[in-house]
Amino acid sequence: MNLRVHSYESFGAVDGPGIRLVVFLQGCPLRCIFCHNPDTWAADKGTETPVEEIVRKARRMRPYLGNDGGVTFSGGEPLMQAEAVLEATKALQAEGFHVAIDTSGGIDSEAAYALLDAADLILLDVKAPDPERFREVTGVSQEANRRVFDHLRETRKPVWIRQVVAEGLNDTPAERAATEAYIAGLNVQRIDRLPYHELGLHKYEELGIPYRGAALRPPKKEALR
Ligand code: SF4
């Protein structure tokens, strides 16, 4: 099968344990207010890439990935291409690579669950614990997201939680408590609160897409502790 690839990062150090080949996939069903990769949204763009090519890339990088590293599928939203990513995941694991999936958990198809089950680690984005706020932040309903979180609870899959924190969005103690309640019961191995930044804003201008996050600001340090 083929994957639609947006881009690669060959020495990723923040998307899972160790040094990683990060494969950024094309296509995302969400429209997050703070997204700095709007160029990944369109599902019909990117480069059609056979699974075998990804495996070959990982093989070439094996000396750098070492025992701790591996391959991370990020996006965009990897669950949008769940069947092909599952095939790639199994092929990589058969050669001893650790595979992580970086997802917002916004798709609850059978194929998505099969991929979540097969992956070694899920990097799980928390968009917003409150359903109304979730829709405001992502543009879509929270229902699929809640079901995916429940599935990850049931399967005890190891997860790293990631949350973008912005002043004026979710930097209060009450928002933090609500997030902690939303992730309760998950097999959480690590939590990263990532400061909102404006590095991707030029992409909105280039794509001619209005930026919805103009009122957001980077958080104060205390909000990230
Ligand atoms: S899930 Fe990620 S790629 Fe998709 S809109 Fe949100 S921040 Fe952007």
pLDDT value of position 163: 96
Nearest atom in ligand 1 to the alpha carbon of residue 29 is 4
60 CA → ligand 1 middle, Å: 29
28 CA → ligand 1 middle, Å: 6
Closest listed residue to residue 86, CA positions, set 20, 3, 188, 186: 3
Q: Cα(26)–Cα(5) distance, rounded to whole angstroms?
A: 5
Query: Residue 64: enclosing H or E segment and its boundaries?
Result: helix 51-65
pLDDT value of position 1: 95
63 CA → ligand 1 middle, Å: 31
Give the chain's domain count. 1
Adjacent-strand bridge partners of 71: 21, 99
194 CA → ligand 1 middle, Å: 14
Residues having CB closer than 6 A to ligand 1 are 28, 30-32, 35, 37, 40, 75-77, 104
Mutate to test the pocket of ligand 1, among 23, 37, 196 (most ligand atoms within 8 A of CB): 37
pLDDT value of position 35: 95
Nearest atom in ligand 1 to the alpha carbon of residue 38 is 8
**Do 16 and 122 touch, CB atoms closer than 8 A?**
no
**Do 125 and 110 touch, CB atoms closer than 8 A?**
no
35 CA → ligand 1 middle, Å: 5
Mutate to test the pocket of ligand 1, among 15, 26, 28, 45 (most ligand atoms within 8 A of CB): 28
Rg value, the chain, Cα: 17
* Residue-range definition of the domain harbouring residue 86: 2-224
Model confidence pLDDT, tens digit, residues 198-222 = 888 899 999 999 999 988 999 988 8
Model confidence pLDDT, tens digit, residues 21-76 = 999 999 999 999 999 999 999 999 999 999 999 999 999 999 999 889 999 999 99
pLDDT value of position 100: 98
pLDDT value of position 67: 87
**Do 91 and 59 touch, CB atoms closer than 8 A?**
no
Residue 223: pLDDT band (50, 70, 90) is confident
**Do 40 and 81 touch, CB atoms closer than 8 A?**
no
Residue 225: pLDDT band (50, 70, 90) is confident
pLDDT value of position 128: 96
Sequence-distant (≥ 6) Cβ neighbours of residue 119 within 8 angstroms:
89, 99, 100, 101, 157
Q: Tell me the CATH number at 57.
A: 3.20.20.70
Q: Whose CA is nearest to atom 2 of ligand 1?
A: 76
pLDDT value of position 196: 94
Model confidence pLDDT, tens digit, residues 76-107 = 999 999 999 999 999 999 999 999 999 999 99
CA 7 from centre of chain: 14
Q: Cα(15)–Cα(13) distance, rounded to whole angstroms?
A: 6
More confident residue, 225 or 128: 128
CA angle 193, 124, 173 (to 5 degrees): 35
Model confidence pLDDT, tens digit, residues 129-173 = 999 999 999 999 999 999 999 999 999 999 999 999 999 899 899
Closest listed residue to residue 182, CA positions, set 134, 114, 112: 134
Nearest atom in ligand 1 to the alpha carbon of residue 76 is 3
